[in-house]
Amino acid sequence: MITKMMKHSEKWISKAMALLAQGKLGQAKAIATKILKESPKHYQANLLLGVIYLKLGDNEQAIPLLQVAVQTARTATEKVQALNNLSLPLSSTNRLDDALQAINEAIAIKPTQAIFYCNRANLHEKLQNWHAMQEDLQQALSIDAEIEEAIISLSVCLRKQKRLNEALNLLDAHPLHEPDWHNEWVLLCCLTGNAQRALDWISQQPSTKQELLIGIADYAAEQGDLGIACQLYEALLKRWPDNQRLLHPYHSLAGIPSDRAPREYVTSLYNQHAEQFNQRLLDTLGYRVPERLATRLASFLPSSPIHVLDLGCGTGLAGQELGIHAQLKSLIGVDLSEQMLKQAELTGVYSHLVQEDIFDYLHTRPKVDLILATDVLIYIGALSPLFKQVSHCLTQQGIFAFSTEACDNDWQLTPSGRFQHSLSHVLTLAKAHHFQLLHHEPCVIRSEHDQPVHGEIYIFKTI
């Protein structure tokens, strides 16, 4: 009987793994969950479901499942697989000591796995332990000299140690077709006095490489080299002078004001980064706003099911967190980016997803009980039109919950291309549009150039 059950489970695990490989996370999740109801200590089901939650960006759900997989592993191969995967959500939740312990144990069992050293190098990068990061990447490359991720990361590591010429020589010796390689190569050319070499290469690229070239300029800005970024945007604007995707970040760096980020800019930016968005935002930048806001909302929401609108829903981080704390009758996500919406669909929490500008959508939307907007107002300078439309779309006593980046002026456009708003300005606007403050707190929105970005979260209700 037990043998028959095991064979039955193996069949379904194989099917779930095939679905996972096809990107059908919801179906794979349902199978793994069903197996665990019958057999809570099933190694492969725990591992599989942990990996699924990891891909969905739900690290807190992934951790206990992967811990059970470690405990129930029957072979060294199974154990190191579980340990390596466990280190990833631990890192993403900044439990770095636990993450290091997991990956160290995996390396101790199987010291010939290059990917383990790459994952530990990523932890050392978070800790800014550049020497240890370098040693791990060099060890990974000694095992497999063709790991593109390790080559690019090693060049970043050398740059962080101010060993700029070594970093550039490394990339020159290993030319790759990866966007990350081009990002780092152009930056290093500019930092080592070889800007003309980079600009000549950029001028030779066909128009079909436009998104790649814009991404290179964005990367320089993200790394804090704003002068280089401005130089690259200027070079690209000579080829595409009316491109809004270029004009907005260039204007931000040049101090030219605007009321709102262009739709083309937001759409292109997030389409480009959708697949790596959760990993970068949660792991690298320490973004926790959806979790914090959903937790604070819990005490203000009714016990009965509610209709919710998630503006700028992105990959669905806010929707997932809200689902933990609220009874949802419907959850609609709206975003400009098609690729972000594809990621949100994988979460399975939305009843409907719409690709549209939030202002256009609010014009036609029936009333809802709650409107969320996490990391959305950072692309809108003048907020009064948004407050007006939101107030018309909420039911009586409806709730508007959102986050902002903070500043001392009423509002301002920063070199990052994002807008910031002051507490006093937000409160004045809210009062003018008949909102009552339920909750407000300052918080760290994310990190940027290894520095905290300060902001606020707000919860208002209509009166």
More confident residue, 123 or 347: 123
Q: Which of 165, 161, 142, 141 is nearest to 152 (CA)?
A: 141
Residue at 245: amino acid letter:
R
**pLDDT (average), residues 322-328:** 92
Sequence-distant (6+) residues with CB within 8 A of 446 are 281, 285, 286, 287, 452, 453
Distance, in Å, from the CA atom of 404 to the CA atom of 265, rounded to the nearest integer, reads: 19
Is 5 a residue whose pLDDT tops 60?
no
- Architecture (CATH level 2) of domain 277-462: 3-Layer(aba) Sandwich (3.40)
Give tens-digit pLDDT for 183-237.
999 999 999 999 999 999 999 999 999 989 999 999 999 999 999 999 999 999 9
Same fold, 2-159 and 177-256: yes
H or E element at residue 189: helix 179-191
**What average pLDDT does the segment 341-356 reach?**
94
Indicate the pTM of the whole model. 0.82
Strand (E) or helix (H) holding 420: strand 419-421
Looking at the chain, the whole-number percentage of residues with pLDDT higher than 70 is 98
C-alpha 2 chain-centroid distance: 43
Identity of residue 92? S
Reported confidence tier of residue 3, pLDDT bands at 50, 70, 90: very low
Q: Could you tell me which CATH class the domain 177-256 is placed in? A: mainly alpha
Straight-line distance from the first to the last Cα atom of the chain, in angstroms, rounded to the nearest whole number: 63
Confidence category of residue 279, pLDDT binned at 50, 70, 90: confident
Please write the tens of the pLDDT for every residue from 48-101.
999 999 988 788 899 999 999 999 999 999 999 999 999 999 998 889 999 999
272, 209 contact by CB (below 8 A): no
Find out if CATH 1.25.40.10 is the number for domain 2-159: yes
For residues 55 and 7, which has the higher predicted lDDT (pLDDT)?
55
Classified as helix, coil or strand, 354 is: strand
Task: Report the alpha-carbon distance of residue 290 to residue 280 in Å, rounded.
Answer: 15
| Pick from 349, 427, 332: nearest CA to 387 | 427
Is the confidence at residue 283, as pLDDT, over 70? no
**Can you give the residue ranges of every domain in the chain?**
2-159, 177-256, 277-462
pLDDT one-digit tens code per residue, 430-451: 999 999 999 999 999 988 877 8
DSSP 25-94: HHHHHHHHHHHHHH-TT-HHHHHHHHHHHHHTT-HHHHHHHHHHHHHH--SHHHHHHHHHHHHHHHHHTT
3-state secondary structure of 192: coil
Residue with tokens 């099933």: 42
Strand partners, 413: 419
β pairing state of 411-413 and 394-405: unpaired
What tokens does 184 get? 């780092």
d(CA 184, CA 156): 7
Please tell me the predicted confidence (pLDDT) of residue 94. 84
